[in-house]
A and B are shown apart, each in its own frame.
Chain A
């Protein structure tokens, strides 16, 4: 049994079958990549996991509980954090405030009317957030306006915001899309470092094969809404079905 079990998931948008009978099992403490050509249903699948979309049929079990019908914030409270394709951070807040919000969410739950104590007097939370910033080498940017940072730093901050909650599963939606090679390599290093430091399960949706083969322990190839193969990176490279999905039926 994996930490995330997707069974027989279907999703239709009008006449388009976006996902057709998807089965996927992600094992605890692995880095699992989901790859596939454009329109293969990767993002639809991810949105079904985080509560943004509800599948027409099938089941999604996380840590023994169904996530279907739950709202995004409830799914996060179960232990799934998500990194977006373009970094989603609180651009109007300072860097440390960005990290403190997930700390409060983890401690206080989805809602708590906590309007008397000052944020600055919450020593535990401040310390926790500072420790996290130190872990991702951003402590020197503590009081910076988050919106004014470079894209690479925003990505780093977003990861910090997810990791500070100690999620059981971290979902990454094309974390290096649109990045320069150097930034991509930095992100790979950051993810490797995260993986070494803590027990965490990651699911990565990615186009960039360099990223996939540097990080993934298992790879699922999705094509036209259906998983083709699930294999280790070594076995994926020469797999005929994968070539077919990416390059068409012509012999290359």
Chain B
């Protein structure tokens, strides 16, 4: 990712170019312009044109103002002074929080865990991502690859498992949960589908006094969290607790009531409708023998659902699972627990390109399930109208110049696996047959409704989409993030406000200084390795579908792991007017982040640092020019937030300040 000249403001990308000091004094500003897109790839493309345009403008301005120029022909662009009052700057430094779709304040709750305040830590999570106990077991963890520890050749902090700790050790929180006010605002909202997206919308809107009605085709709420995640990964009591908590806030539920016509629903007196029906249709594989063998061929997500509702209680001795995603991993591990003795997974792609999360693949392999890569299914083999096996063609992945992959047969003999049952887990799609085409909802590519990426509003202003229903399969954490945004939009829609006028996040920047060299956070960097989560004994867990495999951290392990957090939200705040340029911070910084050099165009500047700042994804903190004409340039990339710069600073020009960023909610 290359963010040169780009910065983010109000969820859109902007270009900014600094003006040479003489011109800036005359003009009074640097040049910047919104690219009106939240898509980084698009912003990256558009930026250079505008940078060039700016260069011309600077040159013209200098000519017009007849400013003294060292060289009239060379118009220099400088790295702009960092605007730390833009909440997105410090937010980006907190990599885990920035990567999280719901922007959960990760370091904040990890500090609470170290102090044993599990309940507070849980509430920080609940506020932000609604399902800490569930996500602490099942989240796709976009935060962990973003963890700064991974960039200093270490493993990420086990953030997800620490989230689980907040659930496991929390105290009573009932008095902290808001309820539907006695006097509602009289507005009624229909929520279709009882999954995480709808539940999040309900939680946010109930607080605002909306009457929410949930329609769910199954007899319980929870959506795919209930039907598709096996209970050895997510115990039912955890799921029930967190789902019921929202229902008990004052959510009206209509179970076993599948909405079959949007047109009919529109006739009822709802002020807005939210569609959170997920992507409920498992893809099928129509190859030779499919029809004959249909009795023993199962669609992955449907099969998992029937296990969850205890309709399916057994499977054949030999099982083959097709697919390389998380559903495939759940199918193969469930098969073992239903009595299968020989379970194989076959994937079309190479092993390294499997879609499943690394840890889920690991868990399956720990249960001795072999995974066969580069196997493309060709036909189901039947014997007297009964499934007998499956034939594969072996392929290899070939990449063309554009990096596009194609699977080319190797010409080897076909591979045959004998089996009694097959699970197909090769993807899932949305299903919107129940939405009539003449009610104002436009459909675009792949028969998906056109939904605005910022407001989650469809082309029928009254109808909003979120979760997997909006843009196809994602993870629970995305559904929660969508839910918060959709709730804001629904509230604005019902109040007649502009939906694009999005609320600003809540931010707070507080110094951590307690004494001359004392901070109110623990700045000693832990040298401990990432702790592994203990697992249940396989002789027990493999026999019972309901025995949770991961046991979670105990309090001691949780403390040790929490101490590994670098506290990236404790920001290094620099005050130019106090700096005497004594170099003490440069000398002490363990990771050579801090530099005093002459400002220059970003490319040159990045290369002129003590250790060149080659990670373009990470911003530079640029100060105003100091008395010696140099600027302080800090590469945020591998800063450990140890606070030694502030400890060795004689004048307090560096300070360590905790930056709390709270994503806007409808009620904030």
Tell me if chain B binds chain A: no
Q: Which residues of B contact A (CB under 8 A)?
A: none
